[in-house]
Chain A
C-alpha cells in the first residue's frame, strides 16, 4: 500500500555541504555511522515486570494524574463497558459520543444500548455520522470549518470519545494510539472526556516497547500512520499563575478500562 505522492525538497545539497565541511568532511556522510549504543541505559532496558505489576504501576501513575481506572474480567466486558460509558455520560450530561471504528469496540457492541439510553454514537468511518443532525456549527455557516466533512463536524460536538489504544505504557501511564483510518485522531482530542479500553496483556513497561511494537507493525516508513499519539493523563496547563488547569484544549477527564 502506498501513501501517494513523494514530497518536494529544496536547498538540501548546499545545506548538507556546509554542514559536512564544518564537521571536517569533504562530502556529506553517506553511510550510516556505527552505533556503540542505542536507546536507554541497560539497567532500565532490562527491567521486567509481571502483568499484575504492570497493571498496578499503570493505575498508580494514571490515578496520580487524576485519571480513573476500572479493571474488569474480559467476560463481563460488554455489559460493564456499556454501563460505565452510560453512567459517565449521565454524570456529565452527555448525549453524544464518538468512538473509533475498532474491532475490539465493535465486539463490545455498546452502540445500540447507548442509543436506547438516548446517547448518540458517532463512529469514526465514512458515513459514521450520517444519522446525526447538528444544530449548527460553533463557527457559523461561513468559513473554513463549515466546508469540512459532516463526520468532523459531528465529532467536534461529541463530548466523550472512546478509543482502543494499541498499547499502554505502565511506567508513565501512557496510552499509545497509532492513529490512522478508523482510528481517528479527533476522537481522542476534541472531546471533554475519553474512555480508553484495552486488554491487560497490551500493557508494556516502557515507551521503547511501544515504539518497538509500532516499528514491528509498520516496518516501512511509507506505511507508518501519520500520527502516533502518546497520551499521559488529562490536558493541563499551569500558565495562569501556576494554577493547575485541567482540560484546557484536549480532554480533561481520562478513563482507562482494563480487561483482564
Chain B
C-alpha cells in the first residue's frame, strides 16, 4: 500500500542506483515495448491535436508569457488566490517543507477522526510521501485513479506522469485484482474496469476525506482546477465531507481567461485530447443551498524547494511546468528506460531537472542530468517552452563545480584539459594513441577494449584512430578545398550568364 513508502527508500539512491535500474529496465522486454507504444501514441496524439488547433507556436508563446508573468509576480497572485479561497470559506495552509505539509494533513485528519482517505491523482502527495505517513498512522489511503490503484495493489510507483501503470499488463492486473478480492478475474479490460468501478465507488462513498492535487489555482476567484478523464477527481471532491487539496505553490494562473490557455494546451500536450473529460473548478466548500459537495475545504500550499528557484536566472523557468509529460514522450532516454529508472516521483527530462532542484541534492539527484542525450527534443515538445536541455547542461556544470563527479572522471577531464590546451602534448597524444590502439584493432575497428573503453565497446564498435590525424591532413585539405571553391564559383558564374 505504499507507493510513497517505496519512493522514500528509492530517494536515497537516485544517483548511485541509476545504472542498476537502467540495466533492469533495458532487460525488461514488456516494459520497453509498453513504454515505446504508449509514448508513441501520446506523442502522435499531441502532434495531431496541435495541428488541429492552429498556430501552435503562437499558443506556446502565449502560454509561456502567462506562466512567466505569474511566476514573476507570484507573491501577488498567490496572496490573491489564498485570500479568495478563505473568502469562500476554505482554509489555507502555507507549508515550507514536506514534513510541514504532512503534519498539516494529519492535523486535519485527526480533527475529523479520519480512518479512510480517498485520493485523486496527486503528484505533490507522492512528492511528500503522504501515503507512507498515513500508513504509519493507520489511516487507510486509497488511490482512486485506475492506474494509481493498480500500482497501489502492486506496491509500485508510477512509471509515467499521465499513464502511471504502463508497465503492467492485463494478466498482471487480473492477478492483482484476484489477490485483492478473492474473486477470479480474466485478463479482460472490460471485466477489470467494471470491478474497479464498483470497488472504488464504495471507497468514494465511505471516505472521511477526499484528497486531490490542483492542476491550476485561479488567483482572481480562488478556484482549484482539477483536470482528469475518469471522474475520480470529481468523486473525491464531491462525496466525502472533507476535501483536502495539496498543491505546489507555483501552480497558478491570474485569471479565468488565462486558464483557458493553459487548459487547452495541457490536454493537447498530455494526451492529444482537445480537452480532458472533466475539468472542474472548485471554489470553496459547498454553499448553504447546496445538497451535495464537501462541507470543508482545506488547501495545503507547498514550497518544498520551489522558492529556491525564484530569482535564479537559469532555473526559475522550471516553475512554469504544467506537468503535461510531453517531454517524457519525446525523450530518447525515457523512451528506452521508462519512469522507474529515474527512481523519483517526477521522471523524464522534467524529473531530471526538477528533482535535484527541489530536493537540493546535487550528489544523488543531480546525477539524473546525465540521463539525457541533450538533444533538445524536450524543449521542442514543451508547451511552455522551458529550455530543459540547457538546464540539464547547467546541472552537470553545477555538479562538476561542486566536485561531485567521480574521482577518475575528474582526473580524466583534468588530463583532457592539459592535453587539449597544449599543441605539443596534443600531437604527441594522437600519435601515441595510434600506436597504443594497435593490439586492440581488428579490421579497422576496436571491438572490445579494457575499461573505460569497454563502456563503449560493450554495445558498439569504435573506429580506429587513423595514422594521419585530421590536424596533419589539414594543410592538404585546405588546398583541395580552395581549388574546389574557385572552380565552383566559375561554374556558377557561367550558368548565370
Binding site for B on A (CB under 8 A): 3-12, 14-16, 18-20, 22-25, 28-33, 35, 37-41, 43-44, 61, 124-126, 138-139, 143-145, 149, 151-152, 155-156, 171-174, 180-181, 184-186, 189, 206-208, 211, 214-215, 221-222, 224-243, 245, 247-251
Contacts known (A7-B91, A239-B165, A248-B193); A33 close to B200, Cβ less than 8 A: no
CB distance from A213 to the nearest CB of B (A): 11
Residues of B260-303 contacting chain A, CB below 8 A: 260-261, 263-264, 273-293, 297, 301, 303
Interface-central residue, B96, B240, B292, by most chain A CB under 10 Å: B292
Pick the 7 closest A-B CB pairs, nearest first: A250-B231, A39-B257, A239-B147, A249-B231, A11-B94, A22-B310, A7-B86
Q: Which residue of B lies closest to A240 (CB)?
A: B189
Bound CA–CA A181/B293 (angstroms):
10
* Chain B contacts for A214, CB-based, 8 A: 256
* Chain B contacts for A23, CB-based, 8 A: 72-75, 310-311
B232 proximal to A (CB < 8 A): yes
14 additional A-B residue pairs with CB within 8 Å, beyond A4-B288, A23-B74, A237-B147? A12-B92, A15-B249, A16-B78, A19-B78, A41-B55, A41-B62, A186-B292, A229-B278, A231-B277, A232-B278, A239-B147, A240-B189, A248-B196, A249-B234
A215 and B256 within 8 A (CB): yes
* Chain A contacts for B190, CB-based, 8 A: 245
Number of interface residues of B (CB under 8 A): 115
Contacts known (A28-B76, A226-B282); A249 close to B163, Cβ less than 8 A: no
Contacts known (A38-B257, A126-B291, A184-B292); A226 close to B286, Cβ less than 8 A: yes
A8 and B196 within 8 A (CB): no
Residues of B127-184 contacting chain A, CB below 8 A: 144-147, 150, 163-166, 168-170, 173
B275 and A10 within 8 A (CB): no
Q: Which of B201, B277, B291, B292 contacts A236 (CB 8 A)?
A: B277
List 25 contacting pairs A-B, 8 Å CB cutoff, sorted by A: A3-B89, A6-B86, A7-B86, A7-B87, A7-B297, A15-B249, A15-B301, A22-B310, A23-B74, A24-B311, A29-B75, A40-B261, A41-B58, A149-B291, A171-B274, A207-B260, A207-B275, A208-B260, A211-B257, A211-B260, A228-B281, A232-B274, A239-B146, A239-B150, A241-B189
Please count the residue pairs between chain A and chain B whose beta carbons lie under 8 angstroms apart in the complex: 307
Bound CA–CA A245/B74 (angstroms):
39
Contacts known (A41-B58, A240-B173); A19 close to B277, Cβ less than 8 A: no
Q: Which residue of B lies closest to A243 (CB)?
A: B189
A25 and B75 within 8 A (CB): yes
Interface-central residue, B72, B86, B274, B286, by most chain A CB under 10 Å: B274
* Chain A contacts for B54, CB-based, 8 A: 43-44
Q: Which residue of B lies closest to A156 (CB)?
A: B205
Q: Which residue of B lies closest to A137 (CB)?
A: B205
B74 and A139 within 8 A (CB): no
Contacts known (A29-B76, A207-B260); A226 close to B146, Cβ less than 8 A: no
B274 and A8 within 8 A (CB): no
B307 proximal to A (CB < 8 A): yes
* Chain A contacts for B163, CB-based, 8 A: 238-239, 242
B231 and A248 within 8 A (CB): yes
B82 proximal to A (CB < 8 A): yes
